[in-house]
C-alpha cells in the first residue's frame, strides 16, 4: 500500500487548527433523509486517542414540530465507539490513493528508536505529526477514507419535523485527560443546496492558462475543487484525477485559489469551470464558464519607420510590427504632446491589429509622438519620442484684456487674458511714463502666465504710468502690441498751501482774498474761521478751484464788533490736504452789543469758573459747556450764580470750558471765549 503514498509538500496543510484541543465537528443535512457528520481531532495526541478508544456519537432532540419536547430524548447513535476499520476492510480499496495514504498513516509501523537522544526524539515527533497530517488530509479529500478512519457518520433516523444537538467525544478512561466534546445543532429542514463557486477568471498565456477563483466566501462549505475544461462548452472533463486544494501557511485564510493548465496550441478556444467538493464528498454545481485561448504575450514595442509632414498641415506616421502577432494584439495607440516631457494625450486608438500607419490631421506646431501596442492586459510603448514640427511664420494675435492696479507702496499688478493660440510660449511686458514715448521692455525673460508684478516710484511729477504687452510663440514670432493701459500713480504728496492776501471789511461782512495753491491737482479750497480767543478753527466754506490764480469769499456769518481769524487749505484729487495758510485776523464792522468774558482759577484738583457778562437783557441762568482734549464741547451744567466750581476732574487730563447766557426773553448769547485747564 506504500506505493500509493504521494509525499507532496501540501499534504501538510490541514483544514483543522492543530493548536486547538479536542474534536471539531461538521454537520450537513442531506436533501433526502439523513444528516451527515464529519469530525476530526485537532492535534496528533487527540488523533492517537481516537484511533485507540474510538468516537461516540450522541443525539439530543431539542425541537419537535417547532416546540421543545418535555423529555429531551437522548439517543446513542454509536453503541460501539467508532474506531478506524480493521486493515482487511481497507485492503478492498487499496487502489484508492487516499485510502492507502490514511491506512499507511494509521497502521504503518514506525522504526525503533536507536537511542533516546534529543535528535531521535525530535525526528520521531515530526514523523508522528506528518502521519497525523497525512491521515486528516486523506480523510478530508475522501468520504470513504473518512468513514474507514472512524471520522464519518450518517444519521438516517432523523425526522423532518425535529431538530437535534449532536455531540462527538472520545470515551477515554478517567485516568487520561479527555479531549473536549464537539457539538453542533441542525435538522433536516435546514438543508440548503450547495452554491456555485465565485469570481472565476483566467489569464491566457502562451499555450497556458492561469485560473483563479474566490474561495474565501465558501471556505466553510468546500475544502477542495475540481477544475474542468471543454472544447465545445458542453462536454467537460476534469484536468486532473485529484480535486485541487489551495495551500496556505498556518493561520492564513487566502481569498483566492490559483491553478494553471497547459494548452496544446494558441488557436483552440477552451472553456473552463470550477466545482466545489465539500467535506462530506458532495460536489456542488459548476461555476460560470470562462472561455479563451492561449496567446503570445506582447514582448516588443512597435518600431517607427517614417514620419512625413504633409503640406505643413498634417503628420503621417508609419511603423513596423510582426504580422504573426496580429491575432494576439488588440491594436495600436498614438499619444502626442507639444513638449518632450509631461503628460501625453491619446489622440488615436486603433482596433485593427493589422494597421501600420496613422495620419494626424490636426497637429500642433511642435509634436512629440509615442506609439504603443496593446491587448487586454498589456501595453508596450516605443522607447523614444518621434518628433515632427510644422513651419510657423504667423505671429499670434495681440493680447487683450490688460488691466492693473497700483497700491500705496508703488507695487503694480497686471493681468490679461490668455491667447487662444496653442503655440504661444509666453509674453513680454513694456512700460513708459508717457503714452507717446518709447515703451521699454521690463520683463527680460518670458512671462509664462497671464499676470505680472512691477514696482514703480511714487515720488515723481508724472502722475500716470503706461503699460502694454505682446505675445511670443514657440518660433519667436511676436504679436502686435496690446492696447495701452494707463494707470494713475497713487498721490502721496499733499498740495502747496494757498496764501491769504487780505481780509477786508464790507457792509455786514468780511471778504477774504487769497492766492490759490500752485499744485496742478488741486480741486477745491476750504475756508476756516475762529473767534479771537478760541482754540479751534471751524470750516465755513468749500469752494471749487477756479481757473485763475486768485479766489475770494464773502463771510456774512459774523457778528458786529467781534474779531475773527481766517485760514485756507487746499485739497487735491487724491483727497490730500495742504498745510493751512498763514492766519489773518480782522475785526468785524459795527459795535458789540454784548460781551461775555470767562475766567478760571485752579486749586487743589478743582477749577473755579467766573465770568463777566455785559448785556442789555436780563440774565436768567448761565450754561456751562465742557470737553476733554479734542472731543467736541457739550453742555455740562448750569447755574444762576456768578461762578461755578467743577470737582469732577482727573489728573493729567486737558479740559476745555465755555459758557452761554440764557436771557429772560428766551434768547441766548453766543458762546464765550474758551478756557483750557490741565489738572496735574
- Note the pLDDT tens digit of each residue in 45-56: 999 999 999 999
Q: Is the pLDDT of residue 11 over 90?
A: no
> pLDDT at position 120, please?
56
Q: Give kind and range of the element (H or E) at residue 348.
A: strand 345-349
Lowest mean pLDDT: which of 12-16, 98-102, 271-275, 436-440? Answer: 12-16
pLDDT (tens digit per residue) in 443-477: 989 999 999 999 998 887 788 899 999 999 888 89
pLDDT-derived band at 250, boundaries 50, 70, 90: low
Rounded mean pLDDT, 502-527: 91
C-alpha distances in Å from residue 655, one per residue of 339, 604, 606, 646, 675: 77, 15, 11, 11, 8
> 653 near 628, Cβ under 8 Å?
yes
Residues in Cβ contact with 356 at an 8 Å cutoff, skipping those fewer than 6 apart? 318, 319, 320, 321
The mean pLDDT of the chain is 88
CA 629 to chain centre: 58
Query: What is the secondary structure of 272-321 as a DSSP string?
Result: EEEEEEETTS-B-PPPPPEEE---PPP-S--EEEEEEEETTTEEEEEEE-
Q: Residue with C-alpha cell 482759577?
A: 601
pLDDT (tens digit per residue) in 397-418: 999 999 999 998 899 999 999 9
Q: Which has more pLDDT, 81 or 536?
A: 81
> pLDDT at position 16, please?
32
pLDDT (tens digit per residue) in 182-204: 999 999 999 999 999 999 999 99
> pLDDT at position 2, please?
35
10 Å Cβ neighbour count for 295? 22
> pLDDT at position 490, please?
85
Is residue 424 helix, strand or coil?
A: strand
What is the distance between the alpha carbons of residues 56 and 83, in angstroms, rounded to a whole number? 9
What is the distance between the alpha carbons of residues 177 and 171, in angstroms, rounded to a whole number? 11
> pLDDT at position 562, please?
83
Rounded mean pLDDT, 155-174: 93
Share of the chain above pLDDT 90, in %: 61
Length of the chain: 680
pLDDT-derived band at 78, boundaries 50, 70, 90: very high
| Nearest in space to 416 (alpha carbons), one of 446, 449, 439 | 449
Q: Which domains, and CATH codes, for the chain?
A: 2-190 (no CATH), 198-292 (2.60.40.10), 303-389 (2.60.40.10), 403-475 (2.60.40.10), 499-587 (2.60.40.10), 595-679 (2.60.40.10)
Q: Give kind and range of the element (H or E) at residue 52.
A: helix 44-53
> pLDDT at position 349, please?
95
Q: Is the pLDDT of residue 586 over 80?
A: yes
> pLDDT at position 248, please?
60
What is the distance between the alpha carbons of residues 50 and 54, in angstroms, rounded to a whole number? 5
> 519 near 485, Cβ under 8 Å?
no
Query: What is the secondary structure of 172-184 as a DSSP string?
Result: --TTSPPPPPEEE
pTM score, whole prediction: 0.50
Q: Is the pLDDT of residue 330 over 70?
A: yes
For 59-68, b/e burial (b = at least 16 CB within 10 A) is bebbbbeeee
10 Å Cβ neighbour count for 296? 16
pLDDT-derived band at 3, boundaries 50, 70, 90: very low
Give me the residues paired with residue 505 across strands: 510
| Nearest in space to 134 (alpha carbons), one of 237, 320, 2 | 2
Q: Is the pLDDT of residue 615 over 90?
A: no
What is the distance between the alpha carbons of residues 323 and 407, in angstroms, rounded to a whole number? 69
| Nearest in space to 578 (alpha carbons), one of 471, 493, 497 | 497
Lowest mean pLDDT: which of 2-6, 332-336, 439-443, 491-495? Answer: 2-6
C-alpha cell belonging to residue 114: 536507536
Q: Is the pLDDT of residue 555 over 50?
A: yes
pLDDT (tens digit per residue) in 202-238: 999 899 999 999 999 898 889 899 999 999 999 999 9
Give me the residues paired with residue 75 across strands: 59
Q: What region does 233 belong to: left with phi over 0, alpha with psi -120 to 50, or beta?
A: left
| Nearest in space to 300 (alpha carbons), one of 268, 324, 271 | 324
pLDDT (tens digit per residue) in 266-300: 989 999 999 999 988 889 999 999 999 998 889 89
> 515 near 550, Cβ under 8 Å?
yes
Q: Which has more pLDDT, 360 or 365?
A: 360
| 565, burial (CB in 10 Å: exposed 0-12, middle 13-18, buried 19+) | middle
pLDDT-derived band at 75, boundaries 50, 70, 90: very high
**Could you say which DSSP state residue 133 is in?**
H
| Nearest in space to 638 (alpha carbons), one of 668, 612, 659 | 659
Q: Is the pLDDT of residue 622 over 90?
A: yes
What is the distance between the alpha carbons of residues 225 and 244, in angstroms, rounded to a whole number? 5
> pLDDT at position 77, please?
95
Amino acid at each position: 500500500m506504500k506505493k500509493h503514498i504521494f509525499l507532496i509538500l501540501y499534504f501538510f496543510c490541514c483544514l483543522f487548527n492543530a493548536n486547538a484541543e479536542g474534536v471539531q465537528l461538521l454537520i450537513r443535512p442531506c436533501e433526502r433523509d439523513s444528516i451527515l457528520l464529519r469530525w476530526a481531532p485537532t492535534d496528533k495526541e487527540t488523533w492517537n486517542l481516537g484511533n485507540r478508544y474510538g468516537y461516540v456519537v450522541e443525539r439530543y432532540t431539542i425541537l419537535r414540530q417547532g416546540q421543545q419536547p418535555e423529555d429531551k430524548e437522548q439517543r446513542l447513535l454509536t453503541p460501539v465507539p467508532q474506531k478506524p476499520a480493521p486493515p482487511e476492510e481497507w485492503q478492498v480499496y487499496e487502489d484508492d490513493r487516499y485510502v492507502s495514504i490514511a491506512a499507511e498513516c494509521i497502521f504503518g509501523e514506525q522504526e525503533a528508536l536507536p537511542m533516546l537522544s534529543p535528535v531521535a526524539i525530535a525526528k520521531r515527533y515530526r514523523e508522528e505529526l506528518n502521519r497525523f497530517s497525512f491521515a486528516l488530509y486523506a480523510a478530508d479529500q475522501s468520504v470513504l477514507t473518512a468513514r474507514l478512519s472512524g471520522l464519518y457518520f450518517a444519521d438516517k433516523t432523523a425526522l423532518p419535523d425535529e431538530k437535534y444537538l449532536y455531540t462527538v467525544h472520545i470515551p477515554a478512561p478517567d485516568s487520561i485527560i479527555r479531549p473536549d466534546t464537539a457539538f453542533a445543532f441542525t435538522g433536516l429542514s435546514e438543508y440548503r443546496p450547495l452554491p456555485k463557486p465565485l469570481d472565476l477568471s483566467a489569464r491566457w498565456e502562451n499555450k497556458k492558462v492561469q485560473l483563479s477563483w474566490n474561495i474565501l466566501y465558501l471556505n466553510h462549505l468546500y475544502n477542495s475543487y475540481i477544475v474542468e475544461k471543454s472544447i465545445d462548452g458542453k462536454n467537460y472533463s476534469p484536468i486532473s484525477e485529484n480535486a485541487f486544494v489551495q495551500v496556505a501557511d498556518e493561520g492564513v485564510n487566502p481569498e483566492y485559489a490559483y491553478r494553471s493548465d497547459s494548452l496544446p496550441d494558441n488557436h483552440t478556444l477552451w472553456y473552463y469551470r470550477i466545482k466545489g467538493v465539500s467535506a462530506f464528498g458532495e460536489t456542488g454545481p459548476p461555476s460560470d464558464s470562462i472561455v479563451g485561448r492561449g496567446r503570445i504575450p506582447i514582448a516588443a514595442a512597435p518600431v517607427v519607420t517614417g514620419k512625413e509632414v504633409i503640406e505643413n498641415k498634417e503628420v503621417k506616421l508609419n511603423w513596423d510590427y510582426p504580422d504573426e502577432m496580429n491575432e494576439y494584439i488588440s491594436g495600436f495607440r498614438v499619444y502626442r504632446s507639444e513638449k518632450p516631457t509631461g503628460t501625453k494625450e491619446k489622440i488615436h486608438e486603433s482596433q485593427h491589429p493589422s494597421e501600420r500607419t496613422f495620419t494626424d490631421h490636426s497637429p500642433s506646431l511642435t509634436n512629440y509622438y509615442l506609439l504603443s501596442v496593446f491587448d487586454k492586459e498589456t501595453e508596450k510603448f516605443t522607447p523614444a519620442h518621434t518628433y515632427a514640427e510644422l513651419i510657423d511664420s504667423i505671429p499670434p494675435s495681440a493680447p487683450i484684456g490688460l488691466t492693473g492696479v497700483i497700491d500705496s507702496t508703488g507695487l503694480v499688478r497686471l493681468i490679461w487674458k490668455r491667447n487662444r493660440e496653442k503655440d504661444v510660449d509666453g509674453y513680454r511686458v513694456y512700460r513708459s511714463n508717457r503714452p507717446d514715448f518709447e515703451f521699454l521692455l521690463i520683463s527680460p525673460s518670458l512671462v509664462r502666465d497671464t499676470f505680472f508684478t512691477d514696482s514703480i516710484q511714487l515720488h515723481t511729477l508724472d502722475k500716470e504710468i503706461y503699460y502694454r504687452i505682446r505675445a511670443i510663440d514657440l518660433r519667436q514670432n511676436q504679436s502686435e502690441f496690446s492696447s495701452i493701459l494707463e494707470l494713475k500713480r497713487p498721490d502721496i504728496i499733499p498740495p502747496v498751501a494757498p496764501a491769504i492776501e487780505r481780509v477786508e471789511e464790507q457792509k455786514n461782512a468780511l471778504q477774504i482774498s487769497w492766492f490759490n495753491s500752485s499744485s496742478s491737482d488741486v480741486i477745491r479750497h476750504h475756508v476756516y474761521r475762529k473767534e479771537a480767543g478760541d482754540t479751534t478753527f471751524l470750516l465755513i466754506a468749500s469752494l471749487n478751484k477756479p481757473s485763475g490764480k486768485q479766489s475770494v469769499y464773502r463771510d456774512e456769518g459774523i457778528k458786529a464788533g467781534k474779531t475773527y481769524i481766517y485760514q485756507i487749505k487746499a485739497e487735491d484729487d487724491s483727497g490730500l490736504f495742504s498745510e493751512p495758510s498763514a492766519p489773518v485776523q480782522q475785526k468785524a464792522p459795527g459795535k458789540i452789543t454784548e460781551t461775555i468774558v470767562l475766567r478760571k482759577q485752579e486749586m487743589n484738583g478743582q477749577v473755579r469758573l467766573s465770568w463777566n457778562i455785559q448785556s442789555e437783557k436780563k440774565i436768567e441762568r448761565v450754561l456751562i459747556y465742557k470737553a476733554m482734549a479734542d472731543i467736541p464741547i457739550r453742555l455740562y451744567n448750569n447755574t444762576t450764580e456768578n461762578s461755578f466750581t467743577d470737582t469732577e476732574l482727573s489728573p493729567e487730563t486737558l479740559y476745555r470750558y465755555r459758557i452761554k447766557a440764557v436771557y429772560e426773553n428766551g434768547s441766548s448769547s453766543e458762546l464765550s471765549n474758551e478756557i483750557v485747564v490741565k489738572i496735574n
